[in-house]
Homo-oligomer: A and B are copies of this chain.
Amino acid sequence: MIASEVRALFAVASRPEIVSLAGGMPAVDALPLETVAATVSELVLSRGAVALQYGSAQGDPGLRARICDVMAMEGITDAHPDNVVVTAGSQQALDLLTRVFVDPGDVVVTEGPTYVTAINTFAAYQARIVHVPMDGDGLSPSALAQTLERLAAEGARVKLLYTVPTFQNPGGITLTPPRRAEVLEICRRAGVLVVEDNPYGLLSFTGEPVRAMRADAPDDVVYLGSFSKTLAPGLRVGWALAPAPVTARLVLAAESAILSQSMFTQLVVERYLATQPWAEQVKVFREMYRERRDAMLDALAESMPAGATWTRPDGGFFVWVTLPGGVDTRAMLPRAIAARVAYVPGAGFYADGSGGSSMRLSFCYPPPERIRDGVGRLGRVVRDELDLRDTFAARP
């Protein structure tokens, strides 16, 4: 199992002597804990009997209204709270969507590489996952069109395009505005629902919020959002914004899956948004992650051997590195951990065995100095690996 490999890796990488560039954990230590404690305490004292009680499967109406305000920052100005379903992180929204739409053997089209736990979810429902390649401008519309044509010719039932168009996990790439329009049009013609997973959208390093695909295609896109990266993942509060018929099916699926969302964590988020300068907090996160991104890109330029390539993200958490000479990043990982640095091998982000010479590096969690150290160590491991290969290749 890919998931259990990642878990085992995280267990090792959590040792303090190892610089982990593997995990996607946000820097929650930047949150003002006194303020969080006061907000939660006030919530329990003033509305405890509501916060501790069962809620609805769709989620608290007050929180759903605030979620609409959050999405307006990304150009989604027509969202109605009735079409929002609060979920246990956006992961649950993806799980429920897959449950509602995907029958065994149905096709889900995704970027290659794509978010590893999305692959697990689609696989859990026995979907067939078909990747479409990206370049520096994101998903290739022409490759998408060709893939959908080929699948249609095969008689495959393509249900969803799953995309992380903004600061992608794991690629760090953002789909350009012209391509967004093309992708939407291609999917509309093919009758394929677009799932826009957007946990990083507000973490832009240019200061310019990226306009969500959903903003221009309310009937064709299910938008998944999350407070995991802009507030705290330990609360498990995410959401889906969907066309009305899809919303109704998601609510029924949520009810059967967990009866109701936690009112407690929902109201913590609602109160935090209502009473604290949350947008300022997001700016703090943005600055912090931008600095860490810079540290990582500088260190990569200094440490990586010729032939290695990497992406230059304008936001989010991740850089995608591809090594020269056919290096197998999965085989190299134990040597990297021995050198006290961890990453996630690229193959886990594909359902088809691609990505063997690539790796995902996260800059979200360690401070800049640790990032520089870790990337430096990684550079030495990679150069040793290439030297070793040259030595073997040079043998008579």
A→B interface (CB under 8 Å): 1, 3-4, 7, 25-26, 28-29, 31, 33-34, 36-38, 40-42, 44-45, 48-57, 88-89, 91-92, 95, 99, 117, 120-121, 123-124, 228, 232-236, 252-253, 255-265, 268
Is B40 in contact with A259, judged by CB distance below 8 angstroms?
Answer: no
The 6 A-B pairs at the shortest CB distance, nearest first, are namely: A52-B232, A37-B44, A234-B263, A33-B48, A52-B234, A91-B259
Measured in the bound complex, the distance between the Cα atoms of B28 and A252 in whole Å is 26
Measured in the bound complex, the distance between the Cα atoms of B256 and A262 in whole Å is 19
Identify A40's interface contact among B41, B88, B123, CB under 8 A.
B41
Is B232 in contact with A260, judged by CB distance below 8 angstroms?
Answer: no
Is A259 in contact with B52, judged by CB distance below 8 angstroms?
Answer: no
Question: What are the residues of chain B within 8 A of A53 when measuring CB–CB?
Answer: 25-26, 28, 232-234
Copies of this chain per assembly: 2
Measured in the bound complex, the distance between the Cα atoms of B243 and A231 in whole Å is 37
Identify A235's interface contact among B42, B57, B264, CB under 8 A.
B264
Is B252 in contact with A234, judged by CB distance below 8 angstroms?
Answer: no
Residue from the set A34, A50, A51, A52 with the largest chain B CB neighbour count within 10 Å: A52
Query: Shortest distance in angstroms between A284's beta carbon and chain B's nearest beta carbon?
Result: 15
Is A41 in contact with B52, judged by CB distance below 8 angstroms?
Answer: no
Where chain A touches its partner, the secondary structure class is helix
Query: Shortest distance in angstroms between A55's beta carbon and chain B's nearest beta carbon?
Result: 7
Task: Check A91/B233 contact, CB under 8 A, given A33-B44, A40-B41, A45-B37.
Answer: no
Task: Check A89/B259 contact, CB under 8 A, given A36-B52, A49-B29, A53-B28.
Answer: yes
Identify A51's interface contact among B1, B92, B228, B234, CB under 8 A.
B234
Measured in the bound complex, the distance between the Cα atoms of B268 and A99 in whole Å is 31
Measured in the bound complex, the distance between the Cα atoms of B48 and A28 in whole Å is 8
Is B252 in contact with A4, judged by CB distance below 8 angstroms?
Answer: yes
Sample of 16 further A-B pairs with CB below 8 A, known A37-B45, A54-B233: A3-B255, A4-B252, A28-B49, A28-B52, A31-B52, A37-B42, A37-B48, A40-B41, A41-B41, A52-B232, A117-B255, A120-B256, A121-B256, A121-B257, A236-B264, A265-B265
Question: What are the residues of chain B within 8 A of A51 when measuring CB–CB?
Answer: 234
Task: Check A235/B252 contact, CB under 8 A, given A40-B41, A53-B28, A257-B91.
Answer: no
Is A44 in contact with B52, judged by CB distance below 8 angstroms?
Answer: no
Is A92 in contact with B257, judged by CB distance below 8 angstroms?
Answer: yes
Question: What are the residues of chain B within 8 A of A44 when measuring CB–CB?
Answer: 33, 36-37, 40
Which chain B residue shows the least CB distance to A1? B252
Which chain B residue shows the least CB distance to A232? B52
Question: What are the residues of chain B within 8 A of A124 when measuring CB–CB?
Answer: 99, 253, 256
Question: What are the residues of chain B within 8 A of A26 when measuring CB–CB?
Answer: 53
Which chain B residue shows the least CB distance to A100? B124
Identify A258's interface contact among B40, B50, B88, CB under 8 A.
B88
Residue from the set A25, A31, A37 with the largest chain B CB neighbour count within 10 Å: A37
